[in-house]
Amino acid sequence: MPEGNAVHRTAGILQRELGGRVLSASSPQGRFAAGAELLDGTRLVRSEARGKHLFLGFAPPGAAVGPEDEPPRWLHVHLGLYGTWTLGTGEPPEPVGALRLRLVSLEDGLDDPDEVRWADMRGPTACEVVTPEGVDLIAARLGPDPLLGDDPAPYVERVRGTRTTIAALLMHQDVISGLGNIYRAEALFRARLHPYAPGRDVPAPVLLALWDDVSVLMREAVERGRIVTTDPADRHGPGPKGRGLDHYVYRRAGLPCRICGTPVATAVLEARNLFWCPRCQAA
DNA sequence: GCCATATGGAAAG
DNA sequence: TTTCCCTATGGCA
């Protein structure tokens, strides 16, 4: 259930665990059988993320693919809301349920069964084999990604050019890519921005500060494997168990704002739940 | 253990 | 605008 941070993290893990290896690919569920066949027996040579999209580059096992060479074939994955990767070492477990794709390392001469690596993927919204041009086509639909160190100018320009609310725009992947519902709510709170402010009314320096803020937060989350947006000084007081102190307003409807105590407000915007503090984020 | 909910987006209608 | 994908988590019994 990833926002951009989790996708970038997964890309790194897959690169580390399976990168450079020849893999078997299968679709126990059957729904990706044709695609898996195209990848079966090829080598994973690249693992990259852009926004919430994951791209795995594959090349024939014998081909010399250097850092500059473009893999001829890519697996494009978008996990959507339910999708998930599960990785492991050793003998992969018997496939259970709707297993869309299984990748298993196939190195000749490996005696140690623990050196077998596998990766299972379930429930993705998108899972397809595409050409390099196909990758470009998908990337062209995406706005700048804070985790890639992109130039934020196009994002600022898009936001400043419309009356659409800032809360809606932060979720539009063609405006800024990688943010999801948690970062939307938390970044707006940290900026003390009202979610319904029209994009054109938000000053460019404020938009740039928000960009810088999520860049740092998301980078931390890639390392940590978990989204924490509260500053340490604000991480106090009674709260739900577990991750209850990680956020300022996300999923805290009706609970007191960590800063001012006002009950956190909620509304549905473009079919997604929105959370904000009506006092700290005054109109 | 059961049940409601959801960090998303594409396809269908 | 609604439906689908069909997993994982957290709260509660």
Strand B contact residues in chain A (223-262), C-beta within 7 Å? 227, 251
Q: Which amino acid is at A38?
A: L
A241 labelled catalytic: no
In the predicted structure, residue A241 carries a pLDDT above the cut 70: no
In the predicted structure, residue A237 carries a pLDDT above the cut 90: no
**DSSP secondary structure code for residue A134 in this structure:** H
Protein A234 CA to nucleic acid C8 C1', in Å? 28
Task: Please give the helix or strand (H or E) that residue A101 lies within, else none.
Answer: strand A99-105
Protein A260 CA to nucleic acid B10 C1', in Å? 40
pTM listed for this prediction: 0.94
* Distance set, CA A210 to CA A22, A63, A190 (Å): 42, 44, 8
A2 labelled catalytic: yes
Residues by Cβ under 7 A, strand C: A 1, 29, 31, 80-84, 86, 97-98, 100, 122-123, 125, 240-244, 271
Closest amino acid to nucleotide C1 (CA–C1')? A271
SS3 sequence, chain A? CCCHHHHHHHHHHHHHHHCCCEEEEECCCCCCHHHHHHHCCCEEEEEEEECCEEEEEEECCCCCCCCCCCCCEEEEEECCCCCEEEEEECCCCCCCCCEEEEEEECCCCCCCHHHCEEEEEECCCEEEEECHHHHHHHHHCCCCCHHHCCCCHHHHHHHHCCCCEHHHHCCCCCCCCCCCHHHHHHHHHHCCCCCCCEHHHCCHHHHHHHHHHHHHHHHHHHHHCCCCCCCHHHCCCCCCCCCCCCCCCCCCECCECCCCCCEEEEEEECCEEEEECCCCCCC
Nearest Cα residue to A245 out of A234, A259, A255: A234
Mean pLDDT, range A74-79, rounded to an integer? 96
pLDDT in tens, A146-193: 999 999 999 999 999 999 999 999 999 999 999 999 999 999 999 999
Provide the pLDDT for residue A106.
Answer: 81
User: Is the CB of A269 less than 7 A from some atom of nucleic acid strand B?
Assistant: no
In the predicted structure, residue A62 carries a pLDDT above the cut 90: no
Closest amino acid to nucleotide B10 (CA–C1')? A125
Mean pLDDT, range A236-246, rounded to an integer? 64
Quick one: residue A153, left, alpha or beta (phi over 0 = left, psi -120 to 50 = alpha)? alpha
| Nearest-angstrom CA–CA distance, A41 and A281 | 54
Strand B contact residues in chain A (48-77), C-beta within 7 Å? 51-52
CA of A244: nearest nucleotide by C1' is: C10
Protein A225 CA to nucleic acid B8 C1', in Å? 19
As ranges, strand B nucleotides with an atom below 7 A of a protein CB are 6-10
pLDDT > 90 in chain A, percent:
83
Protein A188 CA to nucleic acid B6 C1', in Å? 20
Q: Among residues A160, A219, A272, A279, which one is catalytic?
A: A272
* Confidence band, pLDDT 50/70/90 cuts, at residue A2: confident
Q: Bigger pLDDT: A96 or A240?
A: A96
Q: Among residues A21, A46, A50, A52, which one is catalytic?
A: A52
| Nearest-angstrom CA–CA distance, A143 and A155 | 7
* Confidence band, pLDDT 50/70/90 cuts, at residue A44: very high
**DSSP secondary structure code for residue A110 in this structure:** -
User: Is the CB of A181 less than 7 A from some atom of nucleic acid strand B?
Assistant: yes
Protein A112 CA to nucleic acid B6 C1', in Å? 40
Q: Residue A238, class by beta-carbon neighbours within 10 Å (0-12 exposed, 13-18 middle, 19+ buried)?
A: exposed
Protein A127 CA to nucleic acid B12 C1', in Å? 19
Q: Which amino acid is at A192?
A: R
